[in-house]
Amino acid sequence: MIIQPQIQGVVARSCHPFGCQAAVSEQIAKSQTQQSSSDALPKRVLILGASSGFGLASRIALAFGPAKADTIGVSFERGVSDKGIGSAGWYNNIFFHQAAEQDELVSTNIVGDAFSSEIREQVAKAIEQDLGGQVDLVVYSLATGIRPNPETGEFWRSAIRPVGESVEGYSVNFEKNSLDKVSLPPATEQEIDETIKVMGGEDWLSWMQFLTERNLLAKGCETVAYSYIGPEHTHAIYHKGTLGLAKTHLHHTRDDINTLLESIKGNANIAVCKALVTKASVFIPGLTPYLLALYRVMKDKGLHEGCIEQMNRLFYGKWHDAADRDAEGLIRIDDWELRADIQLEVNALLAEMTSENFDNIGDYQGVLGEFLQLNGFAFPSVDYNQDVDIEALKALHP
């Protein structure tokens, strides 16, 4: 079977397994070059949301960088079935595990719904059996649009909406290679509440409570969740919208987790990341034109980072440096993005950008390329005209 990209709007309906292998290998190579002067690196790590984006990059950075950490990764992915080839995250898990085994690292994959009690029990068992009973770091990087209510079984659903007033803007359509105008009405109170339930800090706190009650956190254990704030240009749809309110709730939850971890001298962290092409970010209307301009400017200045560069800089550059935290104690790895000179040039490009010239004004090919690579395409090292043995893929498991 020859596998080619199948794109619908901003959704990839196919993935290439060996392109996913190339993606994992490239990130591993970047982490293997890192150095760290700290002796306090985590050695046993639980990553919730480990199969793509910042979660996968965190796992790779910690396993193949100076920490040489053993890891447990939780993700909700699917393999080959009658419905298709499976998801990119499924293959990311497989090829991460293969590479970790070669380096004699523990790399347990747990595939299932991280919101469920069943998966929590599997995680507890894996920590006891595979990591000696406790972890030094918990990375919370779940990105999903729905979360089940544990009491009723019904689902809360997030909504990407402005708050208070409608917002008009543009969004990239990768299927049609176009910049389409979008108009978003303000969120209802129910949409605000449910977005906070799905994307806020409630589940992060619940996980940390579960792990604490089971005595699965080592003394000094830390945890980190990822956030985004962005410049004024993106605030209407992000920082001041439903997503921003959810992130504000996440930030406040850090205080509750710090209180929870006092007895083991632990710590909760929020890392504010750069705007990047991820499976979640491409769904945010108005953000993709900003990404086109940002990528062009930061590449021109030699400052562009992907997820793996961000996570390497987080764990091996900023993690233990108090000077890299802002007044609220947030770790800022969006610092290069928000530099005044960067934003000045980005805003100038956005002022010129139209649906006719967006692919020349901004770095459309770069953004499109990263979107394709999320799903295993656009890697020069992979022959996409070669047949893929589906039966052989069925024998692979995370």
Please indicate, yes or no, if residue 384 is contained in any of the structural domains.
yes
Q: In terms of Cα–Cα distance, which of 126, 144, 143, 142 is closest to 45?
A: 126
Amino acid identity of residue 318, one-letter, is K
Q: For 249-266, what is each residue's pLDDT tens digit? A: 999 999 999 999 999 999
Checking if the pLDDT of 279 tops 80, the result is no
Residues of the chain with pLDDT > 70, as a percent, come to 100
Give the total number of structural domains in the chain. 1
Domain coverage including residue 381:
7-395
Which residues define the annotated binding site? 49-54, 76-77, 113-114, 142-143, 228, 247, 276-278
Alpha-carbon distance 149 to 116, whole Å? 10
Give the closest residue to 56 by CA, choosing from 14, 16, 94.
94
pTM: 0.96
Smallest Cα–Cα separation from 109: which of 169, 63, 43? Answer: 63
Angle at 162 between CA 179 and CA 115, to 5 degrees: 100
Residue 1 falls within a domain, yes or no?
no
Q: What pLDDT, on a 0 to 100 scale, did the predictor assign at position 98?
A: 97
pLDDT at residue 24, as a whole number: 98
**CATH number of the CATH domain containing 258:** 3.40.50.720
Residue 254 pLDDT: 97
Taking residues 332-345, report their average pLDDT.
Answer: 97
* Cα separation, 235 vs 239, whole angstroms: 4
Region label for 187, one of left (φ > 0), alpha (ψ between -120 and 50) or beta (otherwise): beta
Q: Does residue 211 sit in helix, strand or coil?
A: helix
List residues with catalytic annotation: 238
Per-residue pLDDT reduced to its tens digit, 122-156 = 999 999 999 999 999 999 999 888 898 888 888 99
Q: In sequence order, what are the beta bridge partners of 276? A: none
pLDDT tens digit string along 153-190? 889 999 888 899 888 888 899 999 999 988 889 999 99
Query: Does 2 reside within a domain?
Result: no
Q: Is the pLDDT of residue 202 over 90?
A: yes
- Cβ atoms of residues 228 and 247 within 8 Å: yes
Joined together, the tokens standing for residue 115 give 């919101």
Taking the CA atoms of 69, 72, 76 and 79 in sequence, report the sign of the dihedral they define: positive
Which residues are documented as binding site for substrate? 228
Per-residue model confidence (pLDDT) at position 283: 76
The mean pLDDT value of the chain amounts to 94
H-only helix segments in the chain: 17-32, 53-64, 88-102, 117-130, 189-199, 202-213, 232-235, 242-260, 287-300, 307-313, 340-352, 358-361, 364-373, 390-394
Separation CA 268–CA 13 (nearest Å): 36
Structure tokens at 116: 């469920």
Name which of 170, 168, 172, 198 is nearest 185 in CA terms: 168
Binding-site residue numbers for NAD(+) are: 49-54, 76-77, 113-114, 142-143, 247, 276-278
Between 216 and 279, residue with greater pLDDT: 216
Banded model confidence at residue 115, pLDDT cuts 50, 70, 90: very high
